[in-house]
């Protein structure tokens, strides 16, 4: 929900797809300009404007400072291990050997697993809410999905530890092992905690992000598209597929990537259920470790400088990856919700 703040909840969506969205924004009347540039208050006005600019620039400064600090604190490990840091599997604080591969693997696998579960569900929910849902249900449903987004990560973790993990261990994992055990993905000892539990809790957590953005993108598809497809005799599903999903697909991809960004950086809930063992195992039942959770677990007990700087380097990698992922997602979502006419292909 917080990340959806970028696109106004209160704008009329029909408006935002119209070409003249910035109409009131770009025109400042000459009279106003004249009045502003004159009179005793001009100096004060300039000072005020300057103050606002400084505050806005603070945001740049913060991001720059974060980057600077991360690079500075991790230079020890960057200098020692170089690029090989990301391809090595060893994680041995005692002998001073650090490699981030198990954590990268854990983060990627748990996030992709989360996406795999969440995306179909999220798109289904968005379709239901925008295209099928009876009107009185619409507001409560979107409220509920918003609430899911507002639940703190640590509460999800708490629930996962005491409800989800036992559920997986007792009921779901045995079934998976029985029917899909031959793939090798669902074998080995079944602790409950592990990669699969992390994937499921991540799916629950990123669902609302993806579904609320997908909903927004789908709403911004003009009604004429739907009506045109219906007029050709399409069923409702064909209307959704050809009239809505096809036009909104870039935005939907954007919202999925945004969900990925969220999943990559998710810390607390994952830390509580992933098992925290720096190993790469094929089975999804096996415990793993993620980049965020290794920082959360080991940062405050990192005794020597190299250890600390290796952990900060993992943080730096996480920071850069999430920036790229988020920027990409934003651009894609903006491309759809911002006045570009729907393309018919």
Partner 1 sequence: MATTVYKTSPYNRISRQLADYAASGLSILSTVLVVAPLVAIFLYLVYKGAGSLNLAFFTQVPKPVGESGGGMANAIFGSAVLLLIGSVVGVPIGIAGGIFLAEFGRGSRLANAVRFTADVLNGVPSIVMGISVYSLIVLPQKHFSALSGGVALGIMMIPTITRTTEEMLLMVPNSIREAALGLGVPNWRSVLAISLRTASPGVITGCMLAFARVAGETAPLLFTAFGNQFWSADLNQPIAALPLQIFVYAISPYDEWHRLAWAGALVLIVLIVVSVALVRYVTSRGVLKGAS
Site for partner 1, residues 26 to 85, rule: CB under 8 A: 26-27, 29, 31-32, 35-36, 39, 41, 44-45, 47-49, 51-53, 55-60, 62-63, 65-66, 69-70, 72-73
Q: Which is nearer to partner 1, 65 or 180 (CB)?
A: 65
Question: Angle at which helices 135-150 and 195-219 pack, to 10 degrees?
Answer: 140
Query: Out of 325, 332, 336, 337, which residue is the one contacting partner 1 (CB under 8 A)?
Result: 325
Half-sphere exposure of 12 (CA within 13 A, CB side): 6
Looking only at residues 208 through 267 of this chain, which bind partner 1 when binding is defined by CB under 8 A? 211, 235-238, 240-241, 258, 261-262, 264-267
Measured CA to CA, the distance from residue 322 to residue 312 in angstroms comes to 15
* CB-count exposure of residue 141 (10 Å: 0-12, 13-18, 19+): middle
**Rounded least distance, CB 122 to partner 1, Å:** 8
Binding mask 118-147 for partner 1 (x = CB under 8 A): --xxxxxx-xxx--x------x-x-xxxxx
Looking only at residues 96 through 115 of this chain, which bind partner 1 when binding is defined by CB under 8 A? none
- The dihedrals phi and psi of 302, each to the nearest 5 degrees, come to -65, 115
Would you count residue 90 as binding partner 1 (CB under 8 A)?
no
Tell whether the torsion through CA atoms of 146, 151, 153 and 155 is positive or negative. Answer: negative
**Rounded least distance, CB 39 to partner 1, Å:** 7
Measured CA to CA, the distance from residue 102 to residue 279 in angstroms comes to 6
Closest by Cα among 254, 30, 264, 234 to 122: 254
Looking only at residues 159 through 198 of this chain, which bind partner 1 when binding is defined by CB under 8 A? 159, 161-163
Q: Which is nearer to partner 1, 156 or 186 (CB)?
A: 156
Closest by Cα among 133, 114, 132 to 122: 114
Instruction: Please give the size of the binding site for partner 1, defined by CB under 8 A.
Output: 108
**Rounded least distance, CB 184 to partner 1, Å:** 27
Looking only at residues 299 through 318 of this chain, which bind partner 1 when binding is defined by CB under 8 A? 299-300, 311-312, 315, 318
């Amino acid at each position: 929900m917080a990340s959806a703040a970028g696109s106004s909840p209160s704008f009329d969506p029909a408006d935002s797809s119209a070409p003249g969205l910035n109409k009131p924004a770009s025109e400042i009347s000459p009279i106003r300009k004249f009045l502003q540039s004159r009179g005793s208050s001009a100096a004060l006005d300039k000072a005020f404007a300057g103050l606002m600019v400084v505050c806005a620039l603070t945001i740049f400064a913060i991001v720059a400072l974060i980057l600077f600090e991360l690079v500075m604190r991790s230079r020890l490990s960057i200098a020692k291990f170089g690029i090989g840091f990301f391809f090595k599997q060893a994680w041995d604080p005692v002998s001073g050997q650090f490699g981030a591969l198990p954590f990268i693997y854990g983060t990627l696998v748990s996030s992709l697993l989360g996406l795999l579960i969440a995306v179909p569900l999220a798109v289904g929910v968005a379709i239901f809410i925008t295209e099928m849902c009876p009107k009185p249900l619409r507001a409560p449903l979107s409220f509920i999905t918003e609430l899911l987004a507002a639940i703190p990560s640590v509460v999800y973790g708490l629930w996962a530890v005491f409800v989800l993990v036992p559920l997986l261990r007792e009921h779901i994992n045995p079934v998976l092992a029985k029917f899909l055990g031959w793939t090798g993905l669902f074998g080995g000892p079944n602790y409950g905690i592990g990669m699969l539990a992390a994937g499921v809790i991540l799916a629950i957590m990123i669902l609302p992000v993806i579904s609320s953005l997908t909903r927004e993108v789908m709403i911004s598809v003009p009604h004429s598209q739907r009506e045109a497809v219906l007029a050709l005799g399409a069923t409702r599903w064909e209307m959704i597929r050809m009239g809505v999903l096809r036009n909104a697909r870039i935005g939907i991809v954007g919202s999925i990537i945004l969900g990925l960004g969220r999943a990559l950086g998710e810390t607390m809930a994952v830390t509580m259920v992933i098992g925290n063992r720096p190993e790469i195992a094929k089975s999804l039942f096996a415990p793993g470790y993620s980049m965020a959770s290794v920082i959360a677990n080991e940062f405050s007990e990192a005794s020597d400088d190299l250890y600390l700087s290796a952990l900060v380097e993992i943080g730096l990698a996480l920071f850069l990856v999430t920036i790229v992922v988020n920027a990409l997602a934003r651009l894609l979502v903006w491309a759809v919700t911002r006045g570009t006419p729907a393309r018919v292909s």
